Structure 1
């Protein structure tokens, strides 16, 4: 049994090493490609023979990279805040109040979670276009201001909160807003923080809808800016790799700072 467990452990560690290599190699190739000149960009060399930072200078001269990164942060933060705010209010109303049609509303929310965004993308685009919000960050954020996933996740958290404490707070004269902000939120802040991290990552990785709404680099998130750079006439692949490397740095730094919280967030909501 001891030998069998050792063999199994070696197999598991070998599989993990292969998966880590599969995840790291594309990132490594991106970085070394950003340091290669055009003559060796398509070679299979694992190291740049003549390292150059010209690709970075060209990328910054052709693209407003810093502005697009700030656009991505603005979209992600605003989208996350709106989803948490609407999720908290909706979940509290579903748990706290009794009214006719409550079960129907909860069922409809659960069903809307199963509808892909592509099914409602065209109506949303028509609405955003009629409102004149094309080429704006608000046009990207507004259709994602409410998240069914956030509502259902917070609903479960509120359901597990002791109702006796809420009733005691009502007897003491605490308002619904006071119960939510002063009683419930301090006790479920870890759940809210984990949910916020998940929603921020999802918002940062959003691609299809921003690509439909924005066509100008100055108003586009960094992912859409990279796509517009690919569609340009130059197709400087070394500069594209340089811009992609720079775009990965902010989210990498966030992960290094909050890696424990991010892993806990995926574990918490992955189990659910």
Structure 2
């Protein structure tokens, strides 16, 4: 009994230490942003006296509200489109039987293994011909489908009780009705977990927006470049803008953490 208790204490201490190591960079980010401009390079773990001068400086140099709004719009549209397409595709692959089903599924998921740098040039040429370069739509359009989202969601669809679907068909419901009234309500934890992963991935994207948005800093990640120069980086405003970029993601996780935990628990039970 004593050995098991010591093991439990050791496991909790290990988890606590890992959590501290993971959270410390985030703490240092906010701590640096709240220092006075003259103390930005200080190694003191506690930022004192507190100052919002870095936030004011960042707001003066860039349109913080506009960058946040644009980034949120791009991330929301990309995540919503990817989730909808993944939901429809995974439902078809899991619930229906059709010719070349396995081959088509492997080909669809196989696109996930293709590096984005390979498809970047064709996407850029297409957007240029459509006149969508340097627009937010041009950032979103090539990211509307996520093979990884289909792969993850299909696993949950495949484990869904086929008896419920058969009973709904006997009741005369259409496939569209079955999807939204039977399947989706029972997959809310998985959908919430996938939604937040897609949103965070779209929110943190830097490379593709940097290619498309040539003449403007339309998203937060590109706005950070405004504080980088050949004479040195302006760390105070940069950390302030970076901390503002973290807040929406943290709030989203706090709102959906119960669904995310439930999704992982259910996946483990399967």
TM-score range, shorter chain: 0.7 to 0.9
Equivalent residues of 2:37, 2:54 under 8 A apart: no
Residue 146 (structure 1) shift: 0.9
Q: Check whether the contact 1:226–1:243 (CA below 8 A) recurs between aligned residues.
A: yes
Q: Is contact 1:198–1:265 with CA below 8 Å preserved after alignment?
A: no
Q: Partners of 1:119 and 1:233 in 2: how far apart? A: 34
TM-score (norm 1): 0.84
Which deviates further from its counterpart, 55-64 or 256-265?
256-265
Deviations 1:225-244 (A, max 9, x none): 11343248773211111222
Q: 1:140 to 1:268 in 2, by over 3 A?
A: farther
Change over 3 Å in CA distance of 1:139–1:6 after alignment to 2: same
Q: Is the 8 A contact 2:190 2:259 kept in 1?
A: no
Give the Cα–Cα distance (whole angstroms) in 2 for the partners of residues 215 and 231 of structure 1.
Answer: 17
Counterpart contact for 2:134–2:216, Cα < 8 Å = no
Length, aligned pairs only: 270
2:180 matched residue in structure 1: 181
| Structure 1: tracts of 5 or more residues without a match | none
* Structure 1 residue 161 corresponds to structure 2 residue 157: no
Q: Structure 1 residue 105: deviation in Å?
A: 0.4
Alpha-carbon RMSD across the aligned residues, in angstroms, is 2.8
| In structure 2, distance between residues paired with 1:37 and 1:224 | 24
Structure 2 residue runs of 5 or longer lacking an equivalent are none
SS of equivalent to 1:149: helix
Q: Deviations over 1:97-129 (max 9, x none)?
A: 433222210121232222232332222222222
Q: Secondary structure at the match of 2:45?
A: coil
After TM superposition, the runs of 4+ consecutive aligned structure 1 residues lying more than 4 A away are: 231-234, 265-272
Alignment of 1:20-99 (within 5 A): 20-48=19-47, 50-99=49-98
Deviating more after overlay: 139-148 vs 14-23: 14-23
Structure of higher RCO (CA pairs closer than 8 Å, 6+ residues apart): 1
Contact 2:196–2:252 (CA under 8 A) maintained in structure 1: no
C-alpha spacing 1:133/1:270, structure 2 compared with 1 (3 Å): farther
Which string of whole-angstrom CA distances, capped at 9 and with x for unpartnered residues, describes residues 113-152 of structure 1?
2223233222222222222222222212111111112222
